[in-house]
Amino acid sequence: MTRPINREDRSQNACDFIDEQAITAALSGKAPDQAEIDAILAKSLDKQPLNIQEAGRLLTLSNPDQREQIFEAARQLKQRVYGNRIVLFAPLYIGNHCVNDCEYCAFRRSNHEQSRQTLSDEELRTQVGALVDKGHKRLILVYGESPIYDADYIAETTRTTYSVKRGHGEIRRVNINAAPFDHEGYKIIKSAGIGTFQIFHETYHHATYERVHPKGTWKHDYLWRLDGPDRAMESGIDDVGIGALIGLYDWRFDTLGLVAHANHLRDKYNVGPHTISFPRLQPAQNAVWQQPNLVSDEDFKFLIAVLRLAVPYTGLILTARERPALRREVMAFGVSQIDAGSRVEIGGYTIGNEKQEAEREQFELGDIRPLDVVIRELVSDGYLPSFCTACYRLGRTGEHFMEFAIPGFIKRFCTPNALCTLTEYLTDYASPETRAAAAKQIEKEIAGLEGKMKADVEERLKRIQTTDARDLYF
């Protein structure tokens, strides 16, 4: 028996907080002058979130010199809040049955060429095992929308994922990307110990939303979906992820939609979204492929920089939908999390095939390089790859995560934890080339630590390298 969802369920004072007129007004008018740009950037560099009027003013800039100023400010802010860490994860597609008919997605019900599959318990263990064997510690489980993927099912697959142990390896944080639930459903899912629950609103533009999510499908209901993260927060899931599918409608509008959504959550619950994703629309099998709103690389990079400035404490996720060169570039001025070694075919982690298989995947990926290669590139570029999962396991989530704002938090917790988890990866999974490439970076990071912390970290790294001790976090 599947658990029905109460589609009348709403968060407290649920309302449609996306004010299209205000967003459109924020994007019209002439470009801001230098004094106005400087004032907005000063506010952001002071780590204060921007409102949609301010973010909108930045988005109207098209002059390359002015845009460069935005990139530079985003670089500085990223460095101040996040340092040079990049958190790594992988997506795991659990099943592609779907009752919706989203025009852009290969899983939509009217795509009869898609081979429909749901991982069995054993297949799920095999896929998780394959990911653990590559060195992953953080996964996002992805589900189509179907009564068969109800809250109990999501909780069960989460528990199964956590239960897979291989040598020194295990998954320590399971995030979820699935359709929105009612309060009861979220509570069941939360009880399995999930990290973030992600729901992408796709496009905040009402008419476009209703067109690409046809009438008669569950996803057609704009408010039900918009209110999804609110219900999740009220159900105790305090790390929620939001996102927009960039390219469905005007990218500036949807960027402001994301800012409005983040600000709404912060105003109402005193904590903003844990992450924002901004997947760019990719070709997908039998999708209704709309060209007019596709976004150029230049504009895409710019929107990431503006988002970085608008929501200083929200993690920004860039997925492997994008090509390696672009991923490498935007790491510097905004992105704090990426997936690596990803496959989006159902069962894709054991097919041992370089080619992507359209009939079992949702869209095409731009970057299917192995995790080891991505890590080598990151350390060679001076980043610190991290598999850290300490915060949510120590209850530093939601409002408490905001302690992030306290100066020194990164030095005290994030860098040491990144070093420990990277050392685990290097000891247990890395190729000799990657190990060698990382050694210099680790040395540099340790040199930046002081006193007791430095000694503690050195002691822990040594223990990881020479004993079975793992999962040593601060």
Q: Which of 55, 73, 81, 98 binds ligand SF4 (CB under 6 A)?
A: 98
Size of the site for ligand SF4 (CB under 6 A): 9
CA neighbours within 13 Å on the CB side: how many for 228?
23
Three-state SS letters, 225-272:
HHCHHHHHHHCCCCCEEEEECECCCCHHHHHHHHHHHHHHHHHHHCCC
User: What string marks each residue from 201 to 230 as x (binds ligand SAM by CB under 6 A) or -?
Assistant: -x----------------------------
Return the number of the residue (59 or 199) whose C-beta is nearest ligand SAM.
Answer: 199
Residue of 40, 102, 226, 384 that binds ligand SF4 (CB under 6 A)? 102
Q: Which of 144, 185, 257, 341 binds ligand SF4 (CB under 6 A)?
A: 144
Q: Which residue, 98 or 248, has its beta carbon nearer to ligand SF4? A: 98
Q: Which of 363, 387, 392, 429 binds ligand SAM (CB under 6 A)?
A: 363
Residues 6+ apart with CB under 8 A from 228: 180, 181, 199
What does the alpha-carbon distance between residue 270 and residue 268 come to, in Å, rounded to a whole number? 6
We find the least distance from the C-beta atom of residue 182 to ligand SF4, in angstroms, to be 17
Pick one of 321, 343, 360, 460: the residue that binds ligand SAM (CB under 6 A).
Answer: 321
Query: Which residues on adjacent β-strands are paired with residue 276?
Result: 242, 316
**Cβ nearer to ligand SF4, comparing 226 with 430:** 226
Select from ligand SF4, ligand SAM, none the partner in contact with residue 228, using the beta carbon and a kind-dependent cut-off of 5 to 8 Å: none
Structure tokens at 75: 């670089």
- Single out the residue of 57, 138, 173, 219 in contact with ligand SF4 (rule: CB under 6 A): 219
Rounded distance, CA 367 to CA 321, Å? 6
Distance of alpha carbon 30 from alpha carbon 170, whole angstroms: 53
Comparison of 105 and 151: residue with beta carbon closer to ligand SF4: 105
The 329-358 site mask, x for binding ligand SAM (CB under 6 A), equals: ------------------------------
Dihedral sign for Cα atoms in the order 15, 102, 91, 189 = positive
**Cβ closer to ligand SAM: 111 or 336?**
111
CA 445, 77, 273 angle in degrees (round to 5)? 100
Give, as ranges, the residues between 168 and 187 that touch ligand SAM (CB under 6 A).
Answer: 177-179
Hunting for tokens 């869209």 — which residue is that? 363
Residue selected from 100, 118, 314, 417 as contacting ligand SF4 according to rule CB under 6 A:
100
- The helices-and-strands tally (H runs, E runs) of the chain is 20, 11
How far are the Cα atoms of 22, 225, 233, 348 from residue 91, in angstroms, in the given order?
35, 22, 23, 10
Q: Which does 186 bind (CB under 5 to 8 A by kind): ligand SF4, ligand SAM, none?
A: none
For residue 114, give Cα distances in angstroms to 285, 346, 358, 424, 471.
Answer: 8, 11, 8, 39, 40
Verify binding: residue 261, ligand SF4, rule CB under 6 A: no
- Name the site residues for ligand SF4 (rule: CB under 6 A): 98, 100, 102, 105, 107-108, 144-145, 219
- Name the site residues for ligand SAM (rule: CB under 6 A): 104-105, 107, 142-145, 177-179, 199-200, 202, 245, 279, 281-282, 284, 287, 321, 362-363
